[in-house]
Amino acid sequence: MTQIIDPNKPLRLGVVGNPISHSLSPQLHQQFAQQFGIDIFYGKICPTAKGFNRVMNDYFQSGGYGLNVTAPFKQQALQYATIITQRAEDSQSVNTLVKTKEGILGDSTDGIGFVKDLHHKQLVFQNKRAVLLGAGGVARCIAQSLLLDGFEVCLINRTQSKAKDMADALKHLGPIQLYTNDIAVDLVVNSVSFNADQFLPQINFDSNAVAYDLNYGPKAESFLVASKNFTQQQFDGLGMLIEQGAEAFGLWTGKYPDTGLIKL
């Protein structure tokens, strides 16, 4: 991959999503850039679904270099990219785009960002068995990275056929199946937006189990409060946001920031 960077101009980066006004990515990447003395311009882009490809073309043709991609565009970004990484292929999702001489590269850093946050928090999992709530795009990213990290992954989803399809697509990476409550787990990951707490009573928790909501802020509150009845440790997805952003920043610049210095 041959990157296209003009050292005489600010590196033009951004985040694309809809809605996007709430995004913490501009503050995050400015802090990353400051660690290395890199001059960046980081903006927010909010296209419609129909206008996504046109807006992407305009962005990259007018000097844009890299983009973070958030909901609801991660599958459209997968189709837009002309080159995709293996983890984006496995995840069927792209959350990072970068302009190269070979074309627009698409990568998925959500899953590796999640696993890196688990390691950053120094969490210990004796059995490495995880339950993943949901079977959407971000769930597939998380399942892929958990499998590569040596976890056994079990799925709970409102539509069982969708969860089974995801398990079948990822079984080449490791043990993944629909959840049955005879399996005790030490990690429960929520990837759905609401009412995830309804699934908690059907899960068999190890005594040291961790609950992790991929959402952060108020969106994570309901699930994490409910999980206190079942687990001793609860975390929201802010650490994952930081770690996946650091992976994207490394992809763009070849420099990997110290995530422990970030304040959001």
**Do residues 243 and 117 lie in contact, with contact meaning Cβ atoms separated by under 8 Å?**
yes
Q: Do the bridges between strand 96-100 and strand 103-107 make them parallel or antiparallel, or are there none, so unpaired?
A: antiparallel
List CB contacts of 212: < 8 A, sequence separation 6 or more. Answer: 114, 118, 187, 188, 189, 190, 234, 235, 236, 237
Distances (CA, A) of 129 to 18, 111, 172, 175: 34, 16, 17, 10
22, burial (CB in 10 Å: exposed 0-12, middle 13-18, buried 19+): exposed
Residue 153: which of 181, 185, 122 has the closest Cα? 185
Alpha-carbon span 23 to 236, nearest angstrom:
16
Alpha-carbon span 81 to 203, nearest angstrom:
38
Alpha-carbon span 97 to 84, nearest angstrom:
9
Residue 74: active-site member: yes
- The active-site residue out of 9, 44, 50, 74 is 74
Catalytic residues: 74
